[in-house]
Amino acid sequence: MKEIESLPSFRPDSLDEYVGQEEIKKRLRIALQAAKLRSEPLDHVLLAGPPGLGKTTLAYVIARELRKNIYITSGPVIERGGDIAAILSSLEEGDVLFIDEIHRMSKPAEEVLYSALEDFQVDVMIGKGPTARSVRIRLKPFTLIGATTRSGLLSPPLRNRFGMIFELDFYSVDELTKIVERACQLMNIPIEREAAWLIAQRSRGTPRTALRLLKRVRDVATVRREERITPNTVLRTMDILEIDSLGLDEMDRKILRTIIEIYDGGPVGLEALAATLNVEIDTLKEVYEPYLLRSGLLVRTSRGRAATDLAYQHLGYKRVRGGLFDGYPAEPSEDKGKNCSGSLEGAS
Ligand SMILES: Nc1ncnc2c1ncn2[C@@H]1O[C@H](COP(=O)(O)OP(=O)(O)OP(=O)(O)O)[C@@H](O)[C@H]1O
Ligand SMILES: [Mg+2]
């Protein structure tokens, strides 16, 4: 566990600087203000959503807004009940404890957390065998912020102990443009508005992706000795990275192509798909699938995942007969695959 004193450079310091997630910010502002007025710690917060959407960042921002220390740990490293009891008893009044990947905490640790969250006390066993006894430790009131990419895996008793549960949503292109422009300002890189927008458009609704793409675009600008990032710089970079106009990379396209070519467009079960693609089910589910679902390229049906008409169109396949999910075979059209970098045409 470590105490974070200064924020990593791109991370916003305040709720005002945190771009997007307006509904969540609105509710948080009220809760923060009320906690301050009552001089009480903020109620426990659960942040859920796909990777890179700003859960950790928001936890830092909340601690900043509360002007309290934040301590960081993560579910998989807390094995025994005693581990979590030790962490909790070291917290000062109002401190924030951030547990990342909280759905991966062990059961004994989770059980210790229940009474800590509800009554600010924990019972720990001291000693072993016949001399073992249970000791109750009172804790100073604190705020737990849990983060999870899989809120569905959280046990109901743990979930119910959070006063606020926020599901983070993908960002709009305009919001991501702001994030890219802000990072450029911090790094002192001149960028044209349209270039920032193009990066945003290819960032799968995800700030982490936007910032990662920005770094690669900057590399290209550096190598080409460009003084500013222009739309041309962005399009060249995307061409090199093989990222298409929807922000899909080779793996995303492979997933869709596999469903279309091998499973006739689906539906196909997640297990079968993961096995064919040779990827972990969890990676497929947590990393790739959310954006494909969100952008309407993939749908979840009771019988598995299926490619949509949009996916066929985007990858340049023609659907042979019938409508969605009727199991008719798909045939690639002649211009198959060209579409994916279509918007890059004329870029260089
Ligand atoms: N709303 C936002 N405004 C500005 N920058 C953001 C925002 N959300 C995220 N970022 C930036 O995006 C990056 C990824 O965010 P963060 O690490 O908080 O994501 P996460 O949800 O915790 O991901 P993971 O599930 O992988 O832990 C960070 O560098 C952060 O600065
Ligand atoms: Mg995180």
Task: State pLDDT tens for residues 61-80.
Answer: 999 999 999 999 999 999 88
pLDDT, residue 185, reads: 93
Distance from C-alpha of 51 to C-alpha of 83, rounded to nearest angstrom: 26
Residue 39's pLDDT band (cuts 50, 70, 90): very high
Q: Quick one: which ligand is closest to 103's CA?
A: 1
Give the residue, out of 56, 73, 98, 209, with the most ligand 1 atoms within 8 A of its beta carbon, to mutate for a pocket test.
56
Range 13-17 average pLDDT: 92
Enumerate domains of the chain plus CATH numbers: 2-167 (3.40.50.300), 173-241 (1.10.8.60), 250-340 (1.10.10.10)
Distance from C-alpha of 147 to C-alpha of 336, rounded to nearest angstrom: 40
Question: Which amino acid would we find at residue 91?
Answer: L
Distance from C-alpha of 201 to C-alpha of 194, rounded to nearest angstrom: 10
> Which SS3 state, helix, strand or coil, does residue 183 take?
helix
Residue 337 has pLDDT above 50, yes or no: no
Note the pTM of the prediction, 2 decimals: 0.84
Residue 46's closest CA among 157, 175, 193?
157
Distance from C-alpha of 142 to C-alpha of 121, rounded to nearest angstrom: 11
Protein residue closest via CA to atom 23 of ligand 1: 52
Tell whether ligand 1 has an atom less than 6 A from the beta carbon of residue 12.
yes
Distance from C-alpha of 266 to C-alpha of 317, rounded to nearest angstrom: 14
Instruction: Copy the structure tokens of residue 154.
Output: 């959280």
pLDDT, residue 328, reads: 44
pLDDT, residue 5, reads: 40
Tell whether ligand 1 has an atom less than 6 A from the beta carbon of residue 208.
yes
Is 209 one of the annotated active-site residues of the chain?
Answer: no
Is 55 one of the annotated active-site residues of the chain?
Answer: yes
Instruction: Copy the structure tokens of residue 181.
Output: 């422009």
pLDDT, residue 288, reads: 92
pLDDT, residue 157, reads: 93
pLDDT, residue 6, reads: 40
pLDDT, residue 206, reads: 94
Is 4 in contact with 70 (CB distance < 8 Å)? yes
Residue 326 has pLDDT above 80, yes or no: no
First to last CA, the chain: 49
pLDDT, residue 82, reads: 86
Tell whether ligand 1 has an atom less than 6 A from the beta carbon of residue 75.
no
Is 56 one of the annotated active-site residues of the chain?
Answer: yes
* Mean pLDDT, the chain, whole residue set: 88
Distance from C-alpha of 184 to C-alpha of 110, rounded to nearest angstrom: 41
pLDDT, residue 320, reads: 74
DSSP state of 243: -
- 206-238 pLDDT, tens per residue? 999 999 999 999 999 999 999 999 999 999 999
Range 99-107 average pLDDT: 94
Give the residue, out of 9, 11, 28, 171, with the most ligand 1 atoms within 8 A of its beta carbon, to mutate for a pocket test.
11
Distance from C-alpha of 19 to C-alpha of 173, rounded to nearest angstrom: 12
